[in-house]
Amino acid sequence: MLSTSYLIAVNASSNEIEIMLTIYNIAGKGTAVCSQSDGTGTATLWMIPKGKKSRQEVLVQLKAVPSIVSLEVVALSNPVKDLELTNARAAMAHIALDASEVTNAELLQFINDKLNGQYNYYIDLTGVRKASHPFKVRIKPLKELPGYSRDMTSVSSNAQEEDPDKVYTIEDIKSTHVFIEDFTDDDIE
C-alpha cells in the first residue's frame, strides 16, 4: 500500500503534547511546522510524511477528539503536485495563515522539504503580533535566519522508518521542536 502524506491544520483547546500524541497515533508521526497560541487554544500546522490511515479515517477520528475544535486534513503526494497547493493554502488559512504572497515554487519547496525530514525552509511569522487575522506569512530559507547554524538543517528523526502500528506514549515524545520567534517590545501590546 502506498503511503499518503498529510498537511493537517488543527485548532485545539488542549496542550500541544496531548495533540501531538493524538496526531501521531491517528495520522502518523510528523512535525509541527508552525504553531501559535493565544492562551485559550493552539493553532498548529502539522506535516505527516507517511500517514497511517486514509484521509477519511484520519478526518473522522480527529474530529471525534473533544479538544480539537476544528481541523483541515489535506492528502499530499510526495513530492507534492502543483494541483495540491490550493488545498495546502486552504489548510494554512484554516489556522489564520495567509500564504497569498508565497509563490507556488516557495510553497512546493517548503512542503517537499518537510515531507523529506529536511529543515532548509521555514514559515516566517515576523510581524504577526501586530497584525490582525489572518496573518500574512512568508516562506524563507533557513540560512536567512539570524543565528543560523548548519546543525539546524539536519535530517529529522521523523524521516526515519517507523512501525505504522506503533502506539505513541508521552515517553516517546522528545523535545525536538524549535520555536523561532522574532519580535520586539513594539510587537507586544
Among 184, 40, 43, 44, smallest CA distance to 126 is for 184
Q: What are the cell numbers at 77? A: 503526494
Instruction: Give the angle 20-26-29 at the CA atoms, nearest 5°.
Output: 55
Tell me how far apart the alpha carbons of residues 107 and 77 are, in angstroms, rounded to a whole number. 14
Q: Could you tell me which residue, 159 or 38, shows the higher pLDDT?
A: 38
Query: What is the residue whose three cell numbers read 515517553?
Result: 171
Say what the pTM is: 0.83
The per-residue pLDDT for range 176-189, each reduced to its tens digit, is 444 444 444 454 44
Q: Hey, where are the domains in the chain?
A: 5-151
Whether omega before 79 lies within 30 degrees of 0, making that bond cis, reads yes
